[in-house]
């Protein structure tokens, strides 16, 4: 009898009708159970129309039924159940002129989420896309430093915010408008609400993709943003420690809850390259991120090593991909960007 993992792998052949992406990548497969009586595949309906769902169910039955040793296949479909808060939330809006929005999330701070966001944004730009970068991590103003933004933001006559341009990226942070006197109530979900409004008041112009550096964590504040903004996909940044990896599950769940496909997991600070001998040293056990991504059915985008140039560049407002585009780690970010861009080639979300 095939194992649940083998069945899950097989289910990747089922494309979401009208898309090149498969139902596993869309987060539609909730569970696969194998018992003597037969195999049960639990799907979540996301926003699919009934006729689309019926086609998917037929294909799942056919493909699993054709596996050697697969006895009987049951497919159960549950309606995606938004949380109570999600039901009350307003409909997701698109940002005019912005083709796609990708959110970069992490379970906690300090894993390199902003470092990945800025270098990924630059790498996507090097592939020819028009990219914007929004720092939604108001209380960790690292991004402003990383892109070397120090000046004030301009306003159009209609009082819309004009983003700064840095290294060819259009960049804005609500942090630029927050100072020491800003009231403490500007925290958590409240800030998240303001942030998503803020996003719509920026004169982005035409963008192929806006990269959103979410605040660290996968709680209500992050959920609020993902609910309000029409996202094309999410990226999860983690480090190889067990605890950080655990958070990846929460990240995947958060995006699944709002029906957003996870474009992949990036493992940062995966290993250390010795400056003298060039050998790679693992600091934590290797391969955890890739294994977990496989288990959760989301793409693994790559392992970024610990390199001092990543931090030094960030501190000087010269991110690595802009400062040293031929550095092996810059090439690595370009490979991650290619995988993201290929996935985003599709329309924003299933209808």
Ligand X SMILES: Nc1ncnc2c1ncn2[C@@H]1O[C@H](COP(=O)(O)OP(=O)(O)O)[C@@H](O)[C@H]1O
* Ranges within 139-158 binding ligand X (CB under 6 A): 140, 142
- Residue 292 to residue 249: CA distance in whole angstroms: 8
The residues in 201-220 that bind ligand X, with binding defined as CB under 6 A, are 216
For residue 57, give Cα distances in angstroms to 33, 48, 67, 209, 317: 16, 12, 16, 32, 50
H or E element, residue 210: strand 209-213
Shorter beta-carbon distance to ligand X: residue 28 or 292: 292
Using CB under 6 A as the binding rule, whether residue 114 contacts ligand X is answered as yes
| Structure tokens given for 205 | 């112009």
Query: d(Cα 247, Cα 218) in Å, to the nearest integer?
Result: 8
In the complex, minimum distance from the CB of residue 254 to Mg ion, in angstroms, rounded to a whole number: 17
What does 23 interact with, of Mg ion, ligand X, none (CB < 5 to 8 A by kind)?
none
Going residue by residue from 294 to 323, which x/- string records binding to ligand X, judged by CB under 6 A? ----------x-xx--xx--x---------
Coil, strand or helix: which one is 350?
coil
The residue within the footprint of Mg ion, chosen from 44, 142, 226, 227 (CB under 5 A), is 142
Q: Is 33 exposed, middle or buried (0-12, 13-18, 19+ CB in 10 A)?
A: middle
Q: How far is CA 168 from the centre of its chain?
A: 22
Q: Which is nearer to ligand X, 10 or 135 (CB)?
A: 135
Contact 59, 29 (CB under 8 A): no
Nearer to Mg ion, 14 or 138 (CB): 138
For residues 251 to 280, the per-residue mask of contacts with ligand X, x marking binding by CB under 6 A and - elsewhere, is: -----------------xx-----------
Q: Does an H or E element contain 134, and which?
A: strand 131-135
- Residue 248 binds which entry of Mg ion, ligand X, none, CB below 5-8 Å type-dependent: none
Chain centroid offset of residue 128 CA: 20
Q: Is 114 in the site for Mg ion (CB under 5 A)?
A: yes
The residue assigned the tokens 């006197």 is: 181
Residue count of the chain, please give it: 351
**Residue 311 binding target from ligand X, Mg ion, none, CB below 5 to 8 Å by type:** ligand X
CB of 145 vs Mg ion, minimal distance in Å: 10
Secondary structure letter of residue 177 according to DSSP:
G
- Could you report how far apart the first and last alpha carbons of the chain are, in Å? 35
Q: Choose between 97 and 140: whose C-beta lies nearer to Mg ion.
A: 140
Chain position whose Cβ is nearest to Mg ion: 114
Query: Nearer Cβ to Mg ion, position 140 or 148?
Result: 140
306 binds, among ligand X, Mg ion, none (CB under 5 to 8 A by kind): ligand X
Residues that bind Mg ion (CB under 5 A): 114, 137, 140, 142
Residues that bind ligand X (CB under 6 A): 106, 109-115, 140, 142, 216, 268-269, 304, 306-307, 310-311, 314
């Amino acid at each position: 009898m095939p194992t649940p993992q083998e069945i899950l792998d097989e289910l990747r052949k089922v494309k979401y009708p009208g898309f090149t992406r498969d139902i596993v990548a869309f987060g539609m497969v909730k569970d696969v159970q194998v018992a003597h009586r037969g195999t049960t595949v639990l799907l979540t309906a996301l926003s699919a129309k009934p006729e689309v769902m019926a086609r998917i169910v037929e294909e799942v039955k056919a493909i699993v039924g054709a596996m050697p040793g697969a006895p009987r296949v049951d497919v159960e479909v549950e309606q995606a159940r938004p949380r109570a808060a999600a039901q009350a939330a307003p409909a997701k809006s698109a940002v005019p002129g912005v083709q796609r929005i990708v959110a970069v999330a992490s379970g906690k701070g300090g894993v390199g989420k902003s470092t990945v966001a800025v270098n990924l944004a630059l790498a996507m730009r090097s592939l020819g896309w028009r990219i914007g970068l929004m720092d939604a991590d108001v209380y960790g103003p690292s991004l402003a430093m990383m892109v070397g933004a120090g000046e004030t933001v301009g306003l159009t006559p209609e009082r819309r915010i004009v983003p700064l341009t840095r290294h060819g990226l259009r960049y804005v942070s609500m942090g630029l408008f927050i100072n020491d006197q800003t009231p403490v109530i500007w925290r958590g979900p409240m800030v998240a609400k303001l942030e998503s409004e803020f996003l719509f008041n920026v004169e982005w112009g035409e963008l192929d993709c806006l990269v959103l550096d979410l605040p660290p964590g996968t709680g209500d504040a992050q959920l609020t943003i993902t609910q309000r903004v029409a996202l094309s996909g999410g990226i999860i940044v983690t480090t190889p420690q067990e605890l950080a990896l655990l958070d990846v599950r929460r990240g995947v769940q958060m995006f699944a809850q709002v029906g957003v496909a996870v474009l992949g997991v990036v493992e940062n600070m995966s290993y250390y390259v010795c400056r003298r001998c060039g050998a790679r040293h693992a600091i934590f056990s290797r391969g955890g991120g890739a294994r977990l991504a496989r288990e959760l059915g989301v793409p693994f985008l790559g392992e970024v090593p610990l390199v001092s140039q990543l931090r030094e560049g960030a501190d000087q407002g010269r991110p690595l991909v802009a400062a040293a585009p031929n550095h092996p780690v810059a090439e690595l970010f370009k490979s991650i960007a290619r995988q993201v861009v290929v996935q985003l080639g599709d329309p924003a979300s299933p209808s």
